[in-house]
Structure 1
């Protein structure tokens, strides 16, 4: 029985990139031998085991062949006779097909180290085209390693394009698409994930609402970059730059979907695009089974982001109602995330990337003001429905005072 460290841990170790998970492949062993040594079985489709102490994953060497449609359409074969080279051949990229033994010796039958040096994302074999999920994985790797200068190899890109055109992507489960997308959104250059998907034709299959933004013009005096798709990616870059949460990054990604629905005769203006965007944002979230909190923030940002941009000029009552809709009293963290997403939208414009966005602190100050006014602070003779009414009056009055203070400071 021979054990090798494989995949991401070897790749990132050679790149000097941080990694946390370790995966191992076991050559020359049977499931019975693994169980006898205390390994815990977890694999459903093929034998995968957890180490009894470290809980790292140990998979028996295996081969696979296409036997159906989509990501799950594979048959796996495990046997002690399966070699390390055979196991590595089924992997997606050459840089992921490098193994390391316990003595630190590297086994690289598909020249992954050369591709690491040349900063190339290249498929191991033509079997790459049998698994549609690999299109998303390659796009995610492109996002992760963009800062290191990695590019997708031309022949690999050709296979990705073929997969996008084949209809195979439509067989991917919503859970798999969301998992890969969520992971990609948390990379430093998440925008590259969507750019690669768009370039190979996969974006229009998996995210048609986003793909439709490209080529839609905006008023250049407000959006010097003009194109709605470019603006969306620039806004996402801002969210990555600030290291904001997944919820914020996704909300930024979909905040302007309504602009793709603007009637042709109204362009380049986008009147009511916030309201138009609610339906496509909702449809994307439901199709991908996006988590509830993520969905709720995305819809709120889509619907209300212009109100945040206008915060400094809003009447106190209007600002209070905005904060109410954001659930300010129960969910202050949502208000904070909302402000972050709106800030990214404002700065995701050509030449305005470092522009001051004083609306952010103003809305956060307003949140603190209204949250500081509580029922126990009211006169004891205020009872019943009068409590709610007086709380609203006092909160709006406090927002009026905040507005006056802010105006005095900016004179």
Structure 2
């Protein structure tokens, strides 16, 4: 067994939240290691086909800034994103399309330039506790088993894998039956006639969630929610056999290429390996069914080509830790303010039905944002553990809002910064001075 040197901060999970956490930690002086299961960073944005990024804004106001915005700026500089563009579905103010390969490149460059040490192709296997403190973790990879020690750990796995192994209590799915939001196998399709779709939208406005003719004509990248009657007819004829009531797709950084977010794999647990395997198989079958439907039925897709699925099925929700404070949907829609706010969001509560075809929305007041408190990033059961991303302490309903990438990145910056402070002061994460943390976040461009 290989024993790796002692670090100040170890981040488990190199999705966008963990990547930003590692960057923030290293920039604040901590010797930082990032552990990631794939051979690249980015998580759902690079290995689940998720896109565009939604949303950095609350109305006209940008509420996610700092390192997340730096990522977008770096993408724009190399042609990897058009930046923040209008969401022509009208669901949110802006979306941020990007190129997947450029995203991998930008995130990796930022990690390296910030001084983060990276271990790819590595999985968390076990944890050694010393009372209420993590003494070490074990990971497995091609080299075998490694023991890694650190002052502070950050769980950015999305599924609270590290926290659960430490004995932290958690919530799974909704309270009444533990069912989670469905998984989705996203489908990337190319050679789509965007102009034809725009014309159809303008001529058939009742078929879409929102049609603003001027916005559609001027749109740098098109977002579409609609084609209701076409989908309904296809479902009647057995061409679509999963629960969905809308056609939903978004143009990527590449004009004429879209990501279709429609498949729906329900009643499976993304932290159960048999369920996850079953979900991949069902999701791929649905993806091919969906592509055939789009090509046959949807105007503009007549000559389209299937580029990719996934590559991994997208998981919206699994475990959320029970932290010092559990964030609720009421907190979000009432715009509750917290003295220990370390991140903000503007994405509404967006619950994809765990068992049916619909989506439940809980809207925010127009242009308003909500606070995410530092207390939702830790449990007092473990002195040297923080979490970031969608596994922070939140209810099923609140998680449906804070799970999205910009907010996951914002909590990542907060967790990485707090971890560096705690490591430097040899302090429990619960004892980090929130005033100091907030000041550092503000100095480094975050919006709180």
Structure 1 and Structure 2 fold alike (TM over 0.5):
no
Higher strand share: 2
Larger radius of gyration: 1
Q: With a CA cutoff of 8 Å and minimum separation of 6, indicate the structure with the bigger relative contact order.
A: 2
Higher helix share: 1
What TM-score results when the alignment is normalised by the length of structure 1?
Answer: 0.22
What TM-score results when the alignment is normalised by the length of structure 2?
Answer: 0.20
